[in-house]
Structure 1
Amino acid sequence: MNKNWWKILGAILVTYSTIWGFLSDVPKLPILHESIRNLYFHVPMWFGMIVLFSVSVYHSIKFLSSNNPDHDLKAVESINVGVVYGILGIVTGAIWAKFTWGQAWSFDVKQNFAAIALLLYFAYLVLRNAIDEEQKRAKISAIYNIFAFPIMVVLLFVLPRLSDSLHPGNGGNPGFNSYDLDSRMRAVFYPACLGWILIGYWIYTILYRVRSLEKNNTL
């Protein structure tokens, strides 16, 4: 029980934020209207993705320093879950854009760079499948991952701020502030972010254990 408290917490927070995200009151803002509720789902997906990619790059560094294959396995499984979170982030963002910008994909600079950042990690998975020799695959993948992470950060957080963008918080377009995010929304938004991060990490640990068992059974 003591070891699983964070899993229980994650499940409670996601359940709470999902139910209350649809039922609670939200600020009556022009253009956004009820679509602002997507903040409880869209943004936590990206936060979860970044945390999972951070976990992966940590284990890639650990692998290069130790040659322990467990670290390579942890790196790839955290990326697998992070990619799913990234896809969900893009899908929820496209749905939101459809209602607020008039079209799901307007080739906004934030959308484009987010897609490119995600493609970096699709390329990581393709690279792994292209190399047969296990040790070589793990080493090349680790090096690629270490370089991909800062590029992803630049694509998501630096470049969009240098160009005009419809996306809040980029290109001179103000992000959500105290006027938009009142205390009611914060009471749902912050638990949603933490909850989805914990659930993503939980899924990653499950996948890692499954892959470890499969690997041990084939030895």
Structure 2
Amino acid sequence: MAKNWWKAVAVILVLFALIGGLLIDVPRLPILNETIRNLFYHVTMWFAMMILMTASVVYSIKYLRSGKELDDAKAKIAAEIGLFLGVLGIATGSIWAKFTWGAYWINDPKLNGAAVTILAYFAYMILRNSFDDEEKRAKISAVYNIFAYVLLIVFLMILPRMTDSLHPGNGGNPAFSQYDLDNTMRIIFYPAIIGWTLIGVWLGELKLRLHKLRIKKLEDEL
């Protein structure tokens, strides 16, 4: 039980973000107004996604060096959960865009880059199901995962900063940290990132247990 304290922390932090994010006073900025509360959900989910995708590519690199099936499984699981959070991030971002920009989606470099990134990781999942040979699947998937992560960095971190963009923090548009924000927002924002990340790790742990049980069952049947 003592080893699972972080799971309780994860639940508390996410509940704190979900509830506190709706109740605290927020700055009344032009256009954003009350929609700025989505900062606690949309942005924090994407931070957690990027952390998990980083973990995924690290395990893919480890697999290419070690050849251990468990490293490949961890890479896959981290990518799956990261993709789930990424889809949630796009959904909450689209709702935010509707209320601030007037449309669920606009032709914006950051938004288009996010879509390309999500599609790249969907392709990773499809690729994994395209091979019957486990070793071949693991090796090719690991190499592709590195490629997908490079796309993530390029389309989310680099290209949007090199052109005009409505998205905060890109194309000359100031990020939220540069606005005169109430410091109480940071009290919700940073714990939310930690909370979503820990929830992702927790889900990954559960999926890894199921994976190990399936492997053990197959071994027992042989």
- TM-score per shorter chain, which class? over 0.9
Is 2:46 the partner of 1:40?
no
Return 5+ residue gaps in structure 2 as ranges: none
* Cα distance in 1 between the residues matched to 2:13 and 2:215: 33
Is 2:83 the partner of 1:83?
yes
Q: Which amino acid aligns with 1:43?
A: V
Is 2:194 the partner of 1:194?
yes
Q: Provide the secondary structure at the position in 1 that maps to 2:45.
A: helix
Structure 1 residue 178 displacement after superposition = 5.2
Q: Which amino acid aligns with 1:113?
A: G
Is 2:59 the partner of 1:59?
yes
* Cα distance in 2 between the residues matched to 1:181 and 1:61: 40
When residues 179 and 108 of structure 1 are mapped into structure 2, their CA distance, relative to the original with a 3 A threshold, is closer
* Cα distance in 1 between the residues matched to 2:103 and 2:180: 23
* Cα distance in 1 between the residues matched to 2:100 and 2:111: 14
* Cα distance in 2 between the residues matched to 1:194 and 1:88: 16
| Structure-2-length-normalised TM-score | 0.95
Q: What residue is the counterpart of 1:126 in the other structure?
A: 126
Q: What residue is the counterpart of 2:108 in the other structure?
A: 108
* Cα distance in 2 between the residues matched to 1:75 and 1:170: 30
| Structure-1-length-normalised TM-score | 0.97
* Cα distance in 1 between the residues matched to 2:47 and 2:90: 12
Return 5+ residue gaps in structure 1 as ranges: none
Structure 1 residue 177 displacement after superposition = 2.7
* Cα distance in 1 between the residues matched to 2:132 and 2:27: 54
* Cα distance in 2 between the residues matched to 1:94 and 1:67: 40
Is 2:166 the partner of 1:166?
yes
* Cα distance in 1 between the residues matched to 2:63 and 2:103: 43
Q: Deviations over 1:111-132 (max 9, x none)?
A: 1001001111111111111111
Structure 1 residue 136 displacement after superposition = 0.5
Q: Deviations over 1:136-195 (max 9, x none)?
A: 000110111122212211110100011111100111111113544321111111111111
Q: Provide the secondary structure at the position in 1 that maps to 2:207.
A: helix
* Cα distance in 2 between the residues matched to 1:148 and 1:111: 17
Q: What residue is the counterpart of 1:95 in the other structure?
A: 95
Q: Which amino acid aligns with 2:176?
A: F
Q: Deviations over 1:24-49 (max 9, x none)?
A: 11011111111000000001111111
Is 2:53 the partner of 1:25?
no
Name the count of aligned residue pairs: 219
* Cα distance in 1 between the residues matched to 2:157 and 2:76: 24
Identical residues among aligned pairs (%): 54
Runs of 4+ in 1 over 4 A off after TM superposition: none
Q: Provide the secondary structure at the position in 1 that maps to 2:129.
A: helix
* Cα distance in 1 between the residues matched to 2:186 and 2:56: 29
